[in-house]
Structure 1
Amino acid sequence: MTNTPNNYSEDSIRVLEGLEAVRQRPGMYIGSVGSRGLHHLVYEVVDNSIDEASAGYCSNINVIIHIDGSVTVEDDGRGIPVGMHPTAGKPTVEVVMTVLHAGGKFDSGSYFASGGLHGVGVSVVNALSEFLEVTVRREGGVYFQRYERGKPVTEFKRVGDTDKKGTKITFKPDFQIFETLDFSYETLSRRLRELAFLNSGLRIKVSDERFDQSNDYHAEGGIVSYIKFLNKAKTLILDEPIYHMEMTDDRISVEFAILYNDSYVESLYSYVNNIHTEEGGTHEAGFKAAYTKVFNNFVNKYNLIKEKITLTGDDIREGMSAIISVRLNEPVFEGQTKTKLGSSSARNAVESIMSKFLQDFFEENPNIVKKILDKALQAFRAREAARKAKELTRRKNVLEVSTLPGKLADCQEKDPANSELFLVEGDSAGGSAKQCRDRRTQAILPLKGKILNVEKARFDKLLSSAEIRTLITALGTSIGDKDFNIEKLRYHKVIIMTDADVDGAHISTLLMTFFFRYMRQIIERGYLYMAAPPLYKVKKGKSERYIQNEDEMEDYLLDLGLEDVEIQGVNRNRYKELLINLIKVNRMVSKYERKGFERRLIKTLAVYDELDYTKLENEDFVRGIYKKLQDNGSLTKYINTGINFNPEFGRYNITLESNSQLLAINTELLATPEFRELRRLGMFLKEIGDAPYRIKVGEDMKTFETLTEFVSFIEQRGKKGLNIQRYKGLGEMNPEQLWETTVDPERRTLYQVRIEDAEVASELFTLLMGDVVAPRREFIENNALNVRNLDV
């Protein structure tokens, strides 16, 4: 049978080899077993849905982070083929999920330009998951199979009827493999937003049920909308983006959008088949070469520069924000995680299409060329000024340190691996730090006030700042693309130490902006740290202790609140665990209450024996639940309740109707990870029993009608008799206290500064430190409720 572009059947899935060694060497397949690799699992599943959208069969993708750490990705595409595979002799879905290099991307008739790992993606996700469940809606049926650590634990079978199409995959990353299981909603949201922009008309919804967050991404304008979005916090030089899309004769699609802002950095975002190529590659090289050549040719043709100077590509691209998106069949990547494109055909296609388009565009839009040229000439002059200013920062020998402004107190150690530099806010704290430090290995550099905001300053102005020159000289690395040398760094621990107030946070952010923009290798090598002075000093009687943060304070107060307390019917060793989990239960019940479910109803379901969505096939079992809810008054707030049958899943539902909404106790509710977590926490409700809750405090007996009252009493009791001193300034501590809490390597807490996603970091620095106020105000308003330590 011959496959056509619209044909996606069992014959489209070709098996190349089995699934071996993935669990033994996961880094070979997903890059790492840290946070980056964890999120990569989601991207691989989503990429399969994106491929369906690119082929014209999918309009909606739904991604959900569940409370138990699992993730669901659901689309309304064609659904994975469900018949028996013609050569493997088992269901095609099982082949796709369990065999490496099995997928529709090997058959050129199924997908033209796919973004998935060519059949590696979903099978690798399966292999690295504690469990994975796949539900396929196709050809009038609902099909289901469950896997655990890559192996099927149920048969692939039809479980219901439907007129819908699509694939739904729920998986939970394996704790035996990954260093962290904590998904970042912001990281996933950014990637999914990116995909919505790159695929005009596609709707992607992302939800985080852990924190009640959700976003709905849908952009009809494609990358034109995207480039405007990326520049919303910047002052624009061009009114509208330069945009073009074209396909070559050998079916390579090239799409790009270019916008200029008044910043001093270039931001180029490149994609291949929707995959973000962070390390660039041939398509980026083609973009830069074509743009520089055509621009300079146009300028020389019309003699637009009267001086004898030559503009470099860096000059011309200063302030440029651009997106280049290439789609081609069977791209060649360097590395499994596809961060760099190696296809020479992509460079040729980009250069050819851009050169032809830009020549015509510049001829038709000379005013735009003039604006870009003015910006480029400013960049050229600044580069020349910076070259001269750099000479001021070059350090001839270590002895010059004593004469430098900023009063650097150097250490005796000459080996950078054993040396650390504290960047300390203010002379007062700097004086205390100098008194308490270990002179052998610890250097102190006090910083006066707030350093220059490098996000708003060009390179030559940066080098005219005395504080920044002192810092550069102390570090020993020099600065600038050609002169910076990480090997000359004199300290392998550079520690930012500021006050725990608004000014301290601002100074820390200014310093991190400087390191991120101009000395990123210091961060990438793991040399930059943040000191963590304690937030509190707590005294009770004659004893005192330092508390690092709010979470540690809450934990400490809970311990104090439970002293001399007896909780009736509970083992004393379990008090703290019980209370922590009861707080979680209370929050979850409140969450369901906001959705319309009565509190008593949810608590009843949480402790109901052997409640499982598979038992909803049994009508008598469902009627038993219904009677229980009726008997304990859980249904009284609803104007209409009843039981009905759902043919799609072959199970019974309990329906609940109020004045404003229709709810149901059904498969969709009971099968969610949130509900499974509620069921797990239900054991703690069983343990403490029903209200009223009774506890013994000394000789007194106290009774509480609600869980909230009980928890609040314990927390308030923990604060009684405490003298809590909140530190905001390092200057409030004497040298001995500063040594004990912040400087002593044996007792201090340091946070290493790491770059998980360079573009997210860049976007955030622009938002927080740039000139445009409106987006920053929006950011503050959106995050105001998340503030833990408000300095007023």
Structure 2
Amino acid sequence: MEEIRKNDIKNYGAEQIQVLEGLEAVRKRPSMYIGNTSIEGLHHLVFEVVDNSVDEALMGYCDEIKVTIQNDGSVMVQDNGRGIPVGVHQKVGRSAVEVVLTKLHAGGKFDRYSYKISGGLHGVGVSVVNALSEWLEVEIHQNQKIWRQRYERGKPINDLVDAGFTNHTGTVIRFIPDSEIFPDRNFHFDILAQRLKELAFLNEGLKICLKDERNEKEKEYCYHGGIKSLVSYLNRGKNVVHNEPIFLKGEKDEVKVEVAFQYNDSYLENLISFTNNINTIEGGSHVNGFKLAISKSFSEYIERYQLIKDKEEMPTGNDIREGLCAVISVLVPEPQFEGQTKTKLGNTEVKGIVEEITHDYLSSFLEENPDVAKAICEKIVQAARAREAARKARELARKKNSIDSSSLPGKLADCSSRDPEESELFIVEGDSAGGSAKQGRDRRFQAILPLRGKILNVEKANLHKILSNAEIRNIVAALGCGIGFDFIIDKLRYYKVIIMTDADVDGAHIRTLLLTFFYRYMKPLIENGKIYIALPPLYRIRSNKQEAYAYSDNELERILKDFKNKKYTIQRYKGLGEMNPEQLWETAMDPKTRTLKQVSIEDAIEAEEIFSVLMGDAVDPRREFIREHAHEVVNIDI
């Protein structure tokens, strides 16, 4: 062993150090630059190109972006901005466009005069797209000329050439992802549409068109109300406290701030934040500044006009944000994001800027709009009173969070392991399925919690009513990490929380109710990838000693081809309770053979809309949603 180590040291020299030139590093480790090479990474390529066009819009040079999924599987992004510079770069001796497309950390975003504000942090966007594309073609309209160049796997195939006359300006980039990098190169219209709609909301007056030539599907987004329109959009399934969203904007030390918010009669806050058009899902200094300003402004107003009784406590920040729907967007010249994912803004100076601009505006607005001010303050005071009423219920739930088995729900069949990293909880529909799951599980690391019927729809209830629901209390106690503002993910007793329901309409409804509860009151579970959906089979096919399971009708058809010329029987499972413990273990619970879907939040705006529309009070948006998506239904019980 000692001799081997000496040889390793002897052979480890300069020649063992790999130096990856140009874009080779990107092709060698693509996930370092785009997150992964699955569906998310694939679509990230489009967003990188679009972000460059949006940066032109931020500087006031572009007002229209067109994104087209073409019949051959490529994507074309076209804008009417200034166009990438085509002159020769003095240091490199090649055209500026070639430098931008082939060199990492090259581009106008490093020049404060060319791009004061940019969504790109590292300046690697379009060069990374080029590196990971089978081919990429760039066309630049500038100074009445059209310039073209083609690349293959990041390398230029020809020089930049003059291709004719034009009266337009802008950049056109067309590319197809590399099959050597991406196993699935099929672009999804809906994934692109969600992000493009978000960008249109954030950039007032910017027109973004999306077209899919494969099926002639088209969408066009342009919102002259900006983030004010976004707040109205998010609140469309709710009853609002005041008719129009409150909108404010300001600038200090080159930091631009826009805030729009509106209260609704729900019991939850919904804050969505952006920095340079990047969705900062973990918030940051801009969100902290807004929270401080809104708490200070409404507390001052409530105290000044004595809107609470003598013995009542002043509302807390949580009371003030109950029912609040807000969008905070800041443009920062040199943003500092915490972590590689750009999900949390770290610039400390932004906190004070947002706080000052928001508080100054609200102080005047509340005085000038007493009807709106009093309606919101009445909502806040009611929230404070409801908080006190719910205090005892929360304390009861908190007591049940102890790991001591004597305080856990009686229906919970806990696992023997006390290590959360290896434990998982199955939330199962019904006592019958719960019985099979308890018998079929691995008792060492799998816990079972059966539910009796459907839990409460938390979208329409306050916390006091929610904690009065026995099934929800059992879930809260079993998980052990609290609820709402008291939630602490580090106290979670299980690494995975798996929802296992029947594959019918009732099962889908129960899943939706549970996901609504987790999204509204235990959101970090979803954000940290702790929630899963079990996928039990729909069919069991048996022929003598041969047996197979089908998880969809299409899979059933494929399996039956293998059973051709054989006598076989098909069992259609109507519910989990029809499976014996061994079958349930083999198909849905055994880590070696089961299939789980991990629940994630890919788009905060879309998620918010779906839960509000499907589970909220307003009927019209739900009816509209059903009409729009009815053709997508595959299985329905009649």
TM-score (norm 2): 0.88
Contact between 1:318 and 1:379, CA under 8 Å: does it hold in 2? yes
The reply to whether residue 256 of structure 1 matches residue 259 of structure 2 is yes
Q: How far did 1:448 drift?
A: 0.6
Encode CA deviations 1:171-210: one digit per residue, 9 max, x unaligned: 2334555576454433321221122122222211113345
The aligned residue for residue 271 of structure 2 is 268
The aligned residue for residue 514 of structure 2 is 511
The aligned residue for residue 400 of structure 1 is 406
Q: How far did 1:300 drift?
A: 1.6
Which of 599, 608, 620 is matched with 1:753 structurally?
A: 599
Of residues 61-70 and 38-47 in structure 1, the stretch that sits farther from structure 2 once superposed is 61-70
- Give SS of 2:601's match: coil
Q: How far did 1:294 drift?
A: 1.8
The aligned residue for residue 358 of structure 2 is 354
Which of 515, 539, 546 is matched with 2:549 structurally?
A: 546
* Distance in 2 (alpha carbons) for counterparts of 1:42 and 1:779: 27
Encode CA deviations 1:99-126: one digit per residue, 9 max, x unaligned: 2232223334433433334632212222
The aligned residue for residue 18 of structure 2 is none
Q: How far did 1:335 drift?
A: 4.2
Q: What are the within-5 Å matches in structure 2 for residues 57-136 of structure 1? A: 57-66=61-70, 69-117=73-121, 119-136=123-140
Change in CA separation of 1:118 and 1:471 when aligned onto 2, cut-off 3 Å: closer
The aligned residue for residue 462 of structure 1 is 466
Contact between 2:276 and 2:331, CA under 8 Å: does it hold in 1? yes
Instruction: Specify the code of the residue in structure 1 equivalent to 2:617.
Output: D
The reply to whether residue 229 of structure 1 matches residue 233 of structure 2 is yes
* Distance in 1 (alpha carbons) for counterparts of 2:491 and 2:275: 37
In structure 2, list runs of 5 or more residues that go unmatched. 1-20
Contact between 2:67 and 2:77, CA under 8 Å: does it hold in 1? yes
- Give SS of 1:102's match: coil
The reply to whether residue 493 of structure 1 matches residue 496 of structure 2 is yes
Change in CA separation of 1:379 and 1:438 when aligned onto 2, cut-off 3 Å: same
* Distance in 1 (alpha carbons) for counterparts of 2:584 and 2:230: 48
Q: How far did 1:449 drift?
A: 0.5
Contact between 1:103 and 1:118, CA under 8 Å: does it hold in 2? no
Contact between 2:269 and 2:322, CA under 8 Å: does it hold in 1? yes
Encode CA deviations 1:701-737: one digit per residue, 9 max, x unaligned: xxxxxxxxxxxxxxxxxxx987544322223334444
* Distance in 2 (alpha carbons) for counterparts of 1:337 and 1:523: 17
- Give SS of 1:136's match: strand
Change in CA separation of 1:282 and 1:736 when aligned onto 2, cut-off 3 Å: closer
Change in CA separation of 1:491 and 1:245 when aligned onto 2, cut-off 3 Å: closer
The aligned residue for residue 729 of structure 1 is 575
Contact between 2:429 and 2:501, CA under 8 Å: does it hold in 1? yes
Q: How far did 1:88 drift?
A: 2.5
Q: How far did 1:455 drift?
A: 1.8
Instruction: Specify the code of the residue in structure 2 equivalent to 1:287.
Output: F
- Give SS of 2:532's match: strand
* Distance in 2 (alpha carbons) for counterparts of 1:232 and 1:378: 23
* Distance in 2 (alpha carbons) for counterparts of 1:197 and 1:788: 32
Instruction: Specify the code of the residue in structure 2 equivalent to 1:357.
Output: Y
* Distance in 1 (alpha carbons) for counterparts of 2:336 and 2:482: 37
- Give SS of 2:345's match: coil
Change in CA separation of 1:408 and 1:229 when aligned onto 2, cut-off 3 Å: same
Aligned residues: CA RMSD: 2.9
Encode CA deviations 1:133-192: one digit per residue, 9 max, x unaligned: 211122233222122332212222123333332211122334555576454433321221
Contact between 2:234 and 2:608, CA under 8 Å: does it hold in 1? no
Which of 283, 290, 296 is matched with 2:286 structurally?
A: 283
Q: What are the within-5 Å matches in structure 2 for residues 529-568 of structure 1? A: 529-539=532-542, 544-556=547-559
Encode CA deviations 1:9-58: one digit per residue, 9 max, x unaligned: xxxxxxxx976744445455445555444433322211211122233332
Change in CA separation of 1:451 and 1:500 when aligned onto 2, cut-off 3 Å: same
Q: How far did 1:73 drift?
A: 1.0
Q: How far did 1:259 drift?
A: 0.8
Encode CA deviations 1:554-585: one digit per residue, 9 max, x unaligned: 4335667xx79xxxxxxxxxxxxxxxxxxxxx
Which of 317, 320, 325 is matched with 2:321 structurally?
A: 317
The reply to whether residue 159 of structure 1 matches residue 163 of structure 2 is yes
Q: Name the % identity.
A: 58
* Distance in 1 (alpha carbons) for counterparts of 2:546 and 2:44: 48
Which of 198, 203, 207 is matched with 2:207 structurally?
A: 203
Instruction: Specify the code of the residue in structure 2 equivalent to 1:751.
Output: K
- Give SS of 1:481's match: helix
* Distance in 2 (alpha carbons) for counterparts of 1:454 and 1:179: 40
- Give SS of 2:513's match: helix
* Distance in 1 (alpha carbons) for counterparts of 2:437 and 2:338: 48
The aligned residue for residue 382 of structure 2 is 378
Change in CA separation of 1:19 and 1:267 when aligned onto 2, cut-off 3 Å: same
In structure 1, list runs of 5 or more residues that go unmatched. 1-16, 565-719
- Give SS of 2:67's match: strand
Of residues 390-399 and 128-137 in structure 1, the stretch that sits farther from structure 2 once superposed is 390-399
Contact between 1:332 and 1:341, CA under 8 Å: does it hold in 2? yes
The aligned residue for residue 782 of structure 1 is 628
- Give SS of 2:364's match: helix
Encode CA deviations 1:382-416: one digit per residue, 9 max, x unaligned: 322333212322235534268x45x2233333333
- Give SS of 2:261's match: strand
Instruction: Specify the code of the residue in structure 2 equivalent to 1:755.
Output: I
Change in CA separation of 1:486 and 1:178 when aligned onto 2, cut-off 3 Å: farther
Change in CA separation of 1:754 and 1:179 when aligned onto 2, cut-off 3 Å: farther
Aligned length: 615
- Give SS of 1:40's match: helix
* Distance in 2 (alpha carbons) for counterparts of 1:486 and 1:180: 34
Instruction: Specify the code of the residue in structure 2 equivalent to 1:121.
Output: G
* Distance in 1 (alpha carbons) for counterparts of 2:455 and 2:209: 41
- Give SS of 1:142's match: strand
The aligned residue for residue 523 of structure 2 is 520
- Give SS of 1:125's match: helix
Q: How far did 1:70 drift?
A: 3.5
* Distance in 1 (alpha carbons) for counterparts of 2:473 and 2:405: 16
The reply to whether residue 743 of structure 1 matches residue 594 of structure 2 is no
Q: How far did 1:333 drift?
A: 3.5
Change in CA separation of 1:723 and 1:516 when aligned onto 2, cut-off 3 Å: same
Change in CA separation of 1:778 and 1:413 when aligned onto 2, cut-off 3 Å: same
* Distance in 1 (alpha carbons) for counterparts of 2:289 and 2:163: 51
* Distance in 2 (alpha carbons) for counterparts of 1:490 and 1:503: 28
* Distance in 1 (alpha carbons) for counterparts of 2:436 and 2:151: 59
- Give SS of 1:368's match: helix
- Give SS of 2:485's match: coil
Q: How far did 1:744 drift?
A: 3.9
Contact between 1:142 and 1:160, CA under 8 Å: does it hold in 2? yes
Contact between 1:28 and 1:336, CA under 8 Å: does it hold in 2? no
Q: How far did 1:237 drift?
A: 0.9
* Distance in 2 (alpha carbons) for counterparts of 1:418 and 1:95: 49
- Give SS of 1:79's match: coil
Contact between 1:550 and 1:788, CA under 8 Å: does it hold in 2? no
Change in CA separation of 1:488 and 1:68 when aligned onto 2, cut-off 3 Å: farther
Contact between 1:423 and 1:446, CA under 8 Å: does it hold in 2? yes
Change in CA separation of 1:533 and 1:28 when aligned onto 2, cut-off 3 Å: closer
The aligned residue for residue 176 of structure 2 is 172
The reply to whether residue 340 of structure 1 matches residue 340 of structure 2 is no
